Amino acid sequence: MGRLKEFDEDKAIDGAIDCFWARGYEATSVRDLAEHMGIGGASLYNAYGGKRALFATALERYADRTSRQRIARLEETGRPKEAIRTFFAELIDRSLADPQRRGCLFVNSALDVAPHDAELGKAVAGYLDEVRAFFQRCIVAAQAAGGISARLDAVETSHHLLGVLVGMRVLARTHASRETLEAVARPALQLLDVPVARPGKGKR
């Protein structure tokens, strides 16, 4: 019983994601949000509880729609080493293709809200660790399949790759060029190409 919602919840959340993504948490006002979500201010508070709760919801939706979906798509191919390589290639393409240079919502949030909100900070750290865990799974799988040297520390390398990913996302916001971003990534990706087994036999 009761009156039905008149707006599309998915479209609304997408609008909220766009706002937070482009301007950050603090700089986004509730009125901006409501306008981009196509709803009134009262509906926003009625449906989502407030700005902070809406942000948490938007973060979770972004994780599902953007991060996890891409990870799943790449992991399904069954080519773990290529998955990492493609992940970074797509990252560069997306960073350069976005005229707003929004970067990554997680990375932006890590600087914007995480230091001042322990709860949201933990959530952001968790989302970032999902990406790191994806790297780790890819490395372990590639090592099992013989595509990556077993001498590489999978955990350490996954942390390194996440660090490089985060750095690239930040640099992309200062209008870094494709050449710059590729230069940042290349040494990390070449890590995965150390000779796999017999020492003394280079790949080149």
For binding to DNA (CB under 7 A), which residues are involved?
1-7, 28-32, 39-43, 45-47, 50-52
| Minimum CB distance to a second copy smaller for 54 or for 188 | 188
What does 180 bind: DNA, a second copy, none (CB cut-off 5 to 8 Å by kind)? Answer: a second copy
Tokens of 190: 């070449």
| Minimum CB distance to DNA smaller for 29 or for 77 | 29
Least Å from the CB of residue 43 to a second copy: 26
Least Å from the CB of residue 200 to a second copy: 7
CA 157/CA 159 separation, integer angstroms: 5
177, with CB counted inside 10 A (0-12, 13-18, 19+), is exposed
What does 17 bind: a second copy, DNA, none (CB cut-off 5 to 8 Å by kind)? Answer: none
Tell how far CA 117 is from the center of its chain. Answer: 20
Q: What angle do CA 78, 81, 87 make, to 5 degrees?
A: 95
CA distance readout (Å), 36 to 13, 28, 30, 114: 9, 11, 10, 24
Least Å from the CB of residue 106 to DNA: 20
| Minimum CB distance to a second copy smaller for 111 or for 145 | 111
Least Å from the CB of residue 28 to DNA: 6
Residue 92: CB atoms within 10 A of its CB come to 18
Q: Which residues bind a second copy (CB under 8 A)?
A: 23-24, 26-27, 100-103, 107-108, 110-112, 114-116, 121, 124-125, 128, 155-157, 159-160, 162-168, 170-171, 173-176, 180, 183-188, 191, 199-200, 202
What does 115 bind: a second copy, DNA, none (CB cut-off 5 to 8 Å by kind)? Answer: a second copy
User: Quick one: angle between helices 9-23 and 30-37, nearest 10?
Assistant: 140
Least Å from the CB of residue 20 to DNA: 11
| Minimum CB distance to DNA smaller for 81 or for 112 | 112
CA 8/CA 201 separation, integer angstroms: 59
Check: CB of residue 58 under 8 Å from CB of residue 16: yes
